[in-house]
Amino acid sequence: MKIPELLENAIEQKIKNVKLAELKQCANNLSEKYMKQERTGDTLLNTEIEALAYAIMRMPATYGAVYTALKNTLERIDSNIQSVLDIGAGTGAATWAISDLLESNNIRCFEREQVMLELGKSFMSQNLELRDVSWEYADIVKDNLDVKADLVVTSYMLNEIRPEERKNVIHKLIESSNQIILIVEPGTPEGFKNIKEVQKIAIENGLHIVAPCTFQGICPLPDDDWCHSIVRMERTKLHKLLKDAELSYEDEKFSYIVISKEKCDNSGIRILRHPIIEKGKITLKVCHNGNIEKMVVTKKDKELFKNVKKKKCGDNI
């Protein structure tokens, strides 16, 4: 998968008058800041060049994660989504993914960092389908949005705020949705811990789990284990340059949850770890309707074997 060509072109237009050495230094500084960041919710970037470096490094991964999660969701439910809120939109990667999967002319992006808001808005001005997306300043921690939409999306946002503020933010996201809430977090133990908190609050409030879970209940995984998905993104030339990368792709690990205000059937089998493929058999660690199991598929089950052989960590069978 790769980011849309229009987005790649918009980013390239923005860096025409920027010294690549300065951009690369900004990218290195940002990476170091994010690695050392304590979850305080403090601003980590203030200038357009910092926002540009962030966009080049993170928009592909965010686009891929949201696209994958939303695509999986739309395959599991029949929902007429007419309006969307992108909360903590950053430079707009999630909205680019949403627009590639949904036909909606009512998308609103909310972002607290003005420099990212302006950059995201300028990227979308290059796309006829996204020019009418509204961009508005808001800090979900401090502000009450007083708006609602059929689909509410937030990506890589909960992990950036103080732990004591997350519960209130999760309730705000739920209150802003008419139908569905999609939350994406890093595919790490910490990121998945945030997803489990969302799941717990959703169940306590009578909401329903759509994806990726395969049952309506509290996650049975122990605290030292986690569930995540993987999407492979094609790297742009700029991305390779800023990250000093040799590979033409990057694998983004992400955890996500989709909750709904309407009842749904989410039964099935989810692959929790990379399948172990051996001669004549495939061994899987799976979550089967809330039960963590070892599953062995052999060539005797021709269709299932063929199907599972194409699967990866995070996929459903």
Same domain, 255 and 279: no
pTM of the model as a whole: 0.94
Phi, psi of 161 (to 5 degrees): -110, 165
| Domain match, 61 and 95 both | yes
Do 275 and 256 reside in the same domain of the chain?
A: no
Q: Residues 75, 169: one domain?
A: yes
Rounded to the nearest 10°, the torsion over CA 27, 30, 31, 35 is: 180
Co-location of 226 and 292 in the same domain: no
CB contact at 8 A, 49 and 26: yes
What is the span of the domain harbouring residue 283? 269-308
Structure tokens at 157: 């946002």
Q: Tell me, what CATH number does 251's domain have?
A: 3.40.50.150
Task: Point out the domain boundary residue: 260, 277, 298.
Answer: 260
Residue that terminates a domain, selected from 260, 279, 299: 260
Q: At residue 301, does pLDDT exceed 80?
A: yes
Local confidence band at 107 (pLDDT 50, 70, 90 cut-offs): very high
Under the banding of pLDDT at 50, 70 and 90, the label for residue 141 is: very high
- Looking at residue 20, its pLDDT comes to 86
Do 113 and 47 lie in one domain? The reply is yes
Q: What is the mean pLDDT of the chain?
A: 92
153 assigned to some structural domain: yes
Predicted confidence (pLDDT) per residue in 38-50, tens digit: 666 667 788 999 9
What is the chain's percent helix, strand, coil content, to nearest 5? Answer: 40, 25, 40
Is position 179 within any domain? yes
Structural domains of the chain, count: 2
- Residue 313 maps to a domain: no
Phi/psi at 8 (5° precision): -60, -40
Instruction: Say what the alpha-carbon torsion angle 4, 182, 198, 189 is, to the nearest 10 degrees.
Output: -20
By DSSP bridging, strand 149-155 and strand 291-298 are: unpaired
What is the average pLDDT across 188-199? Answer: 95
**Rounded (10°) angle between helices 48-74 and 114-124:** 60
Average pLDDT over residues 26-48: 75
- pLDDT tier at 105, thresholds 50, 70, 90: confident
Between 250 and 241, the more confident residue is 250
**Helix (H/G/I), strand (E/B), else coil: 244:** coil
Would you give the distance in Å from CA 236 to the centre of its chain?
19
pLDDT at 295: 95
